[in-house]
């Protein structure tokens, strides 16, 4: 299995306003490692640089500086080396409504990457596409393969997107806010699917989210980002229950239901983290 290492990764955009130019550092010298069987969560508010990192890893953007290596080898920029990299590294996008072509069937969306990446022939592509649908719990697969995306729910579309990402048999999966566009009632099912696939396939998974609760429960390590910088990192429980960076503390306090985690509430009170009035009035859990 493959290990992906990000070192000093930086992305700077040149912005133009009339005759004036300025620079925006979207990602600033970020380091982390994605190893088989482990999930790393990138957490932060909108504009913190999370999705930019996803695009850099997926080679949809070119880094300004720094490096991305897969098994010790630098990522190729073109040709066969880039194709080989994309065999190993795949991405699940945030919006399941925009990531699937409405004019093509679900079968087309799965058969095409199978054939492009050499995982199926024309003769057996449909059979393997059906197997992918089974793997993401869209059953019976025959009921879905000839449908168009608009005939599926948001959760079903995202499962198709996950199946498409699995088609090249990658070892690294980047999930960029994979449930933020879905109804709350179906988010857990999609996250459980990703967790199961990660275990079964021994995938290295990068989970990008603004949701601290799911980051804690579905990842081994959390990196907290603020304005392009990683301001805190560590094992998931340590970051959530004993935050060190002020920004991490603010994120936890601003979460919709921090009281749902009594251990955090107790730890926050003990450490003197400023709490909203409705939480400060609560008794410390025994």
Q: What share of the chain is helix, strand, coil (3-state, %, to 5)?
A: 40, 25, 35
pLDDT value at residue 260: 43
Q: What domains appear along the chain, each with residue ranges and CATH number? A: 4-255 (3.40.50.300), 256-286 (no CATH)
pLDDT in tens, 230-271: 999 999 999 988 888 998 988 887 766 544 455 555 555 565
The 3-state DSSP class for residue 140 equals: coil
φ, ψ for residue 173 (rounded to 5)? -125, 130
Contact status, residue 191 vs residue 214, Cβ threshold 8 Å: yes
Q: What is the pLDDT of residue 285?
A: 38
Of residues 279 and 161, the one with the higher pLDDT is 161
User: How far apart (Å, rounded) are the C-alpha atoms in residues 111 and 116?
Assistant: 9
Who has greater pLDDT, 144 or 74? 144
Q: Which of 248, 221, 223, 218 is nearest to 235 (CA)?
A: 221
To which residue do tokens 């000839």 refer? 146
Per the structure block, which two tokens stand in for 104? Answer: 């093509």
Digit-coded pLDDT (tens) for 153-200:
999 999 999 999 999 999 999 999 999 888 888 888 999 999 999 999
Q: What is the pLDDT of residue 125?
A: 95
* 82 and 89 Cβ atoms separated by less than 8 Å: no
- The per-residue pLDDT for 79 is 76
Local confidence band at 276 (pLDDT 50, 70, 90 cut-offs) = very low
* Least-confidence region, from 13-17, 21-25, 195-199, 258-262: 258-262
| Distance from C-alpha of 94 to C-alpha of 187, rounded to nearest angstrom | 12
Length of the chain in residues, anyone?
A: 286
- pLDDT at residue 262, rounded to an integer: 52
């Amino acid at each position: 299995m493959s290990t992906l290492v990000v070192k000093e990764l930086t992305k700077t955009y040149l912005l133009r306003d009339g005759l004036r130019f300025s620079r925006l550092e979207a990602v600033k010298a970020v380091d982390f490692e994605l190893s088989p069987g482990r999930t790393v969560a990138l957490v932060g508010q909108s504009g913190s640089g999370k999705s930019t990192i996803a695009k850099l890893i997926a080679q949809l953007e070119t880094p300004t500086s720094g490096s991305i290596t897969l098994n010790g080898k630098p990522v190729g920029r073109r040709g066969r080396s880039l194709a080989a990299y994309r065999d190993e590294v795949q991405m699940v996008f945030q919006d399941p409504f925009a990531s699937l072509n409405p004019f093509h069937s679900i079968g087309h969306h799965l058969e095409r990457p199978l054939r492009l990446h050499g995982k199926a022939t024309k003769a057996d592509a449909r059979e393997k596409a059906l197997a992918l649908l089974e793997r993401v719990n869209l059953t019976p697969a025959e009921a879905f393969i000839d449908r168009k995306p608009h005939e599926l729910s948001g959760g079903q579309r995202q499962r198709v997107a996950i199946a498409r990402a699995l088609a090249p048999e990658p070892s690294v999966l980047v999930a960029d806010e994979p449930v933020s566009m879905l109804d709350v009632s179906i988010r857990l099912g999609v996250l459980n699917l990703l967790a199961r696939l990660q275990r079964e396939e021994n995938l290295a998974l990068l989970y990008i989210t603004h949701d601290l609760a799911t980051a804690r429960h579905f990842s081994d390590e959390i990196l907290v980002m603020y304005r392009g910088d990683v301001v805190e990192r560590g094992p998931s429980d340590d970051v959530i229950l004993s935050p060190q960076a002020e920004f991490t503390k603010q994120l936890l306090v601003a979460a919709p239901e921090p009281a749902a985690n009594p251990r955090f509430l107790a730890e926050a009170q003990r450490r003197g983290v400023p709490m909203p009035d409705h939480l400060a009035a609560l008794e410390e859990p025994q």
